[in-house]
Amino acid sequence: MVSRVIPVASFDLVIFGGTGDLARRKILPGLFRRYCAGQMPPEARIIGAARADIDVTTYRDMIGEAIAEFGGSTSVDPEDLNAFLQTLSYVAIDARGETGWRELAKQMRRKVVRAFYFSVAPGLFGDLAERLNNHGLTDDDSRIVVEKPFGRDLESAHQLNQDLAAFFDEGQIYRIDHYLGKETVQNLMAVRFGNMLFEPLWNSQFVDHIQITVAETVGVGGRGEYYDKSGAMRDMVQNHLMQLLCLIAMEPPARFDPDAVRDEKLKVIRALEPVEPHHIVRGQYEADQDNPEEHPDYRTAVENPKSRTESFIAMKTHIANWRWAGTPFYLRTGKRMVARSSEISIVFKDTPHSIFGEEAGRHRNVLSIRLQPNEGIKLGVTIKEPGPGGMRLIDVPLDMTFADALGPDGAENVDAYERLIMDVIRGNQTLFMRGDEVEAAWAWTDPIIEGWTNRGDVPKPYASHSAGPDASAQLMRRDDRDWREVTP
Ligand code: NAP
């Protein structure tokens, strides 16, 4: 199966922070792949902007090296790379200063889509928005793309929204959550709303519980200072895990269009119940016993011996509406865990009665949606164990792993960033967070964080390469349930 690539309209994309880690690791290698796939028109222009006083040749060399390093598994054709690099230019600009803006204006063309990617610290979003406006660089069709973290609480997120709203309409603001750009996340919606099979069962009558796990094997690395002020709740739950929860739990939107989808997601966030303190487990990883020098414990890694920030969190929450009343949602995410794995599992209830007798065995149907690695969807179904010896039931997966089901061409590995940047140019906001969604998510998160801060809770230590603190397993066992195994 060969995937169809429809080129997007011509554009000028300015990347503020064009020399930074995100631009070099994700944004520009992603654009290069879209260029090679024929989706980025050859006449489109990319303009890197940052304070460093470098010339365009140095910038192109820097990005060429980044693409060679982070461009993905496929080999880079030097001719393609060279042609792509010719689409790049560079302007030295300080987001808080006045130099460079005139040069940027000179480089930008009329009658093409103008997009501005704010790949800089959120403290600069307002400055950039204001200067883009003051220097007449934007029109009603221009778009801005902003990165997480979008605030650290409701107040700061509201302020950021206001800073941007002073110069841009909501329809021009693209708040990235790259989890929404993942192929499987969109497939989750295709499976739910494109089949008759699942939606009638998608409620508390048939679903026992839902679990979402985002496990990382890495520690905080070089991001210790940022991470220690944030923690797993702000860094992962408030955005990525909540977005996944929304897509699973939302009512069917009338249309697959940005506001219809985002209205339904917002309703889910607003229906989330507050989380009871005994339904939360926080943890901090211990040193890696095999390599404690290189992989020290969390507090050493963040250079804060008294830190109470969590590198792991597990929690149980409920959605107070007709569809989900009584169905728990279990969320879990952490660093330095046993395997890198992001998975959503819809665990269905037992059949009401076993005609084969309990000795034949009983298995619950589980629909697992795997985001990384090995993106795909599996449905566990019960069949008879082959062979003689009576009726014994076993659980086998109906495997919809895309690489196997669709063949090498159908499973083209489009990175989330590539897809989302192309959506910006197409003007499609469906997979981006709306301002009210972000604020509602913080409104749910803030009291939970305040609660443990006021109680003076200390995170529980957990072994590196484990599934988190024992208390996390107990959170499930108390309900007679288990976490799904974290497998690579
Ligand atoms: P980074 O490596 O520190 O890069 C920051 C970029 O901003 C550099 O190009 C820097 O260049 C530029 N910059 C800093 N101050 C500036 C100013 N006053 N005016 C103009 N440019 C300025 O950061 P990053 O990791 O790329 O992250 C960028 C944003 O994406 C942050 O908001 C981060 O939270 C978010 N994010 C990053 C990742 C990731 O994987 N890296 C993932 C998710 C979200 P100069 O110093 O030369 O100005």
Is the pLDDT at 74 greater than 70? The verdict is no
Q: Do the annotations mark residue 353 as ligand-binding? A: no
- Which atom of ligand 1 lies closest to the CA of 94? 19
279 is catalytic: no
- Residues 6 or more apart in contact with residue 79 via CB below 8 angstroms: none
- The model's confidence at residue 400, banded by pLDDT at 50, 70 and 90, is confident
Q: Do the annotations mark residue 235 as ligand-binding? A: yes
209, 240, 279, 295: the catalytic one is: 240
Q: What residues does ligand 1 touch, defined as CB less than 6 Å away? A: 16-23, 50-52, 93-96, 119-122, 124, 147-149
CATH fold for domain 11-147: Rossmann fold (3.40.50)
Give the max Cα distance, the chain: 82
Specify the pLDDT at position 73. Answer: 62
In tens, the pLDDT along 191-241 reads 999 999 999 999 999 999 999 999 999 999 989 999 999 999 999 999 999
In tens, the pLDDT along 3-55 reads 578 889 999 999 999 999 999 999 999 999 999 999 999 999 999 999 999 99
Q: What percent of the chain has pLDDT over 90?
A: 87
Range(s) within the chain of domains with CATH label 3.30.360.10: 180-477
Range(s) within the chain of domains with CATH label 3.40.50.720: 11-147
Q: Which two tokens stand for residue 252?
A: 């069917």
Mean pLDDT of 258-279: 97
Centre of ligand 1 from the C-alpha of residue 124, in Å: 10
Burial class (CB in 10 A: 0-12, 13-18, 19+), 123: exposed
What is the pTM assigned to this prediction? 0.94
264 vs 77: CA distance, rounded Å: 44
CATH classification for the domain delimited by 180-477, as one of 3.40.710.10, 3.30.360.10, 3.40.50.720, 1.25.40.10: 3.30.360.10
Give the amino acid at 168: F
Centre of ligand 1 from the C-alpha of residue 27, in Å: 12
Is the pLDDT at 98 greater than 70? The verdict is yes
Q: Which two tokens stand for residue 211?
A: 């679990």
- Torsion 430-435-438-440 (CA) sign: negative
Residue nearest to atom 37 of ligand 1 (CA): 22
